[in-house]
Amino acid sequence: SDDDKREAKKAEEEAKAAAKAVELAEANLAATEKQAAENAEKAKAVTEAVKASLTKDQEEQKAELEKEEEAKEKAAEAEKEEAEDKADKVTDEADEEDAEKEDEAQDQEEDIQDKTDDNEDQLRDTEGDSKEALEQQQEAERAHHEATADAVVNNVEAQGAAEVAAAEALVKKAESLDSDSVTVELYKTEPTAVLVPTRTGASMTDLEPTPGTSRTDLKTIGGTVKLVGGREGTLVITYQIVNADSKTTAGLHIHQGTSCDAIGPVFFEGDSNPWIGVTYTTDAFGQASGLIDIDTQILYQDNTGHVFSVHDAEGESIACGVLEPTENSLAALEPTLEGNDYAFKRSIQGDVALTPVTTDTIGKNPIQLKWNFTGGIPNIVGHIHVHEFTSCENIQDQTPESIFGGNWEDATFETDSSGNSVGSLVIDSGRSYGENIGRTINLHDANNTSVACGVFIPQREEVPCPICLKPFDFRLDENSINDFDRDGE
């Protein structure tokens, strides 16, 4: 039928259209695949180009880095060479300076040796002609020294007898006075008027107004305090106070401070304060004197250098002073003849003084040495030491191994062109002043050869007796260690 034909034709046309659409789709797909392949090739080419570019940049950067490293190495090498050149230059200059110093030292040594040779030649020339005259001169000097020594001994004995008699007279006068009926002579202007001899263990201070005190009405307050070591470690203090508050009872103590600008607390050890109740009492003229016997559990030598303070009734410090030791020892130098080959070995003479030092900045028990001698070896730096020996007779045994204590490495003296020397030093050898008394002091040359020796002997010093002008109960000390005996012996 016509309808069937029309339907068949329509179906045929639709089939052709579908086939054409399929063909067109396949063509489009092929074109798309071709385009994708071309794009992939282009992308690959771009990637390879980028890689090539990056590789080139990296190589260039690497080359730059290598150049920089090479430049740094060259600079470091140049700096190293420059430093080595400078070091070589400094070394050369130091070698030249050392050589100059060695030459100078050699010249000085040769000059000293020439002087020594000249002195020895002169001495040999003189000895043959003047031996008898020298012996006569030495005998005359010996006789003169013996006569002088006898005169000194007689003078000291006479002076001592006079002092004993004067002190006994003061004691008798004090004991005969009745304070109720007799007026005691006032102690007004001379706090150190009465002096007595002492050898060991006496410290003194003159009292003055305490810095910064509010008591401006006591501008003339003063006095004297003496401290000695008592029996069994106690302290014995005698004092004289003038121009204080009248008819007042107040405290007086040793304090921890070492300066009146900062006196600190009272000085003692233990749980109980022994200074409580220790007072002075003034008369109508503001004067007082007295004796204090106290056990602070601190030895005499550890109190030296500390502050002694006088207080008013309100407890304010109104007078103050620092306790300074008075003791000293002296060693008369004698030339060392044994083992000493110097031509002028007999000419050295002088002395070395030994004193305690109150400062604690360099140690616990520092001592001071002061020397003054002539006739030594010219232009040397020698050594000075205290040895453990008590006599100069065994001088050859007084070696560095026998030095008393330690820290003596830098203890030196220096002589001038005439062989003279004046100087001093402070040292903490670990040995106290008292331990050094009676020991030998030895002077050595630069080669540690002994040139002089002496023994430290305590010296008698005239120190004030603060209570000798008041009628207090004391007795004269016959052995002159202190100016009183607490037990009357």
Q: pLDDT by residue (tens digit) across 213-240? A: 999 899 889 999 998 887 777 888 989 9
Q: Judge whether 435 lies within some domain.
A: yes
Q: Which residues pair with 241 in a beta bridge?
A: 223, 288
Q: In this structure, what CATH number is given to the domain that contains residue 228?
A: 2.60.40.200
Residues 198, 301 share a domain: yes
Residues 261, 354 share a domain: no
Q: Judge whether 250 lies within some domain.
A: yes
The pLDDT value recorded for residue 328 is: 82
Interacting residues of 249 by C-beta distance below 8 A, sequence separation 6+: 279, 280, 281, 282, 313
- Could you tell me if 310 and 250 are in contact, meaning their C-beta atoms sit under 8 angstroms apart? yes
Question: Could you give the C-alpha distances from 125 to 122, 342, 403, 407, in angstroms and in order?
Answer: 5, 16, 39, 44
The pLDDT value recorded for residue 342 is: 64
- CA–CA gap between residue 234 and residue 265 (Å, rounded): 20
Residues 322, 192 share a domain: yes
Residues 369, 447 share a domain: yes
Interacting residues of 488 by C-beta distance below 8 A, sequence separation 6+: 475
Average pLDDT over residues 392-407: 87
> For residue 58, what is the enclosing H or E element?
helix 2-176
Q: How sure is the predictor about 209, in pLDDT bands with cuts at 50, 70 and 90? A: very high
- Residues 353-364 have pLDDT tens digits of 998 887 656 667
Average pLDDT over residues 94-104: 71
269 pLDDT more than 60: yes
The pLDDT value recorded for residue 36 is: 78
Residues 301, 254 share a domain: yes
Average pLDDT over residues 400-405: 89
Proportion of the chain above pLDDT 90, given as a percent: 27
Top pLDDT among 267 and 343 is at 267
Per-range mean pLDDT, top range of 144-148, 190-194, 325-329, 484-488: 325-329
Q: Judge whether 371 lies within some domain.
A: yes
Top pLDDT among 290 and 84 is at 290
Q: State the burial class of residue 164 (Cβ atoms within 10 Å of its Cβ: 0-12, 13-18, 19+).
A: middle
Residues 239, 193 share a domain: yes
Per-range mean pLDDT, top range of 154-158, 265-269, 285-289: 265-269
The pLDDT value recorded for residue 470 is: 42
Residues 322, 193 share a domain: yes
180 pLDDT more than 50: no
Q: Judge whether 12 lies within some domain.
A: no
Q: Which of 163, 183, 182, 159 is nearest to 171 (CA)?
A: 163
100 pLDDT more than 50: yes
- CA–CA gap between residue 443 and residue 385 (Å, rounded): 7
Q: Judge whether 47 lies within some domain.
A: no
Residues 299, 334 share a domain: no
- Could you tell me if 385 and 442 are in contact, meaning their C-beta atoms sit under 8 angstroms apart? yes
Top pLDDT among 12 and 382 is at 382
Q: Judge whether 370 lies within some domain.
A: yes
The pLDDT value recorded for residue 462 is: 66
Residue where one domain finishes, among candidates 326, 350, 367: 326
Residue where one domain finishes, among candidates 274, 294, 326: 326
199 pLDDT more than 80: no
Residues 353, 254 share a domain: no
**Domain encompassing residue 348:** 328-458
The pLDDT value recorded for residue 312 is: 96
Residues 210, 311 share a domain: yes
Number of structural domains found in the chain: 2
The pLDDT value recorded for residue 213 is: 92
Per-range mean pLDDT, top range of 29-33, 107-111, 115-119, 327-331: 327-331
The pLDDT value recorded for residue 211 is: 95
Q: Which of 309, 213, 209 is nearest to 253 (CA)?
A: 309
Q: Judge whether 333 lies within some domain.
A: yes
Residues 410, 290 share a domain: no
Residue where one domain finishes, among candidates 326, 347, 371: 326
Average pLDDT, the chain: 77
Average pLDDT over residues 93-97: 70
Average pLDDT over residues 200-210: 86
Residues 280, 371 share a domain: no
- CA–CA gap between residue 50 and residue 317 (Å, rounded): 97
Q: Judge whether 349 lies within some domain.
A: yes
